[in-house]
Amino acid sequence: MAVAAIKEYTAVPRDLVANFHGKQLVYASWDRHLLFAAPFLLCVPPEMPFGELVSGPLSMLVQADPDAAAIDWHSVAWLKANQPWVPDFAASLEANGITHKTQLRFRTPGLNSLSAA
């Protein structure tokens, strides 16, 4: 939608990585699990190891789902920016190519107690 303004309109995005004091935003969602209506939004440092992201904030956020305790994180099917991807759990987010506002999705075949299909 076009903006109609009586003077010059300059928009300044407020979600630039420079505004997060050394951290970055990462989106994560669990495909086919409708208990979570939208992706999780995590604010994490790029130096954080991927394994720490999974064992820390991501595991804590999904624990409300009845299938959460049964997840084998190393056999999860991952998508990064909607492309199949295999993470290195020991490497940092940055080394895994996870940048500001990257979207991660994961699938857990066989764990479908609250599945969309």
The CATH number that applies at residue 57 is 3.10.20.560
In a domain, residue 45? The reply is: yes
For residue 61, the enclosing domain spans 17-107
Check residues 111 and 30 and name the one with the higher pLDDT: 30
* Strand locations in 18-95 (E): 24-30, 40-44, 77-80, 83-85
Lookup result for tokens 């305790």: 69
Q: Give the tens place of pLDDT for each residue, 58-99.
A: 999 999 998 999 999 999 999 999 999 999 999 999 999 999
Of 59, 51, 48, 44, residue with least CA distance to 89: 51
**Residue 76 DSSP class:** P
In a domain, residue 112? The reply is: no
pLDDT exceeds 70 at position 115: no
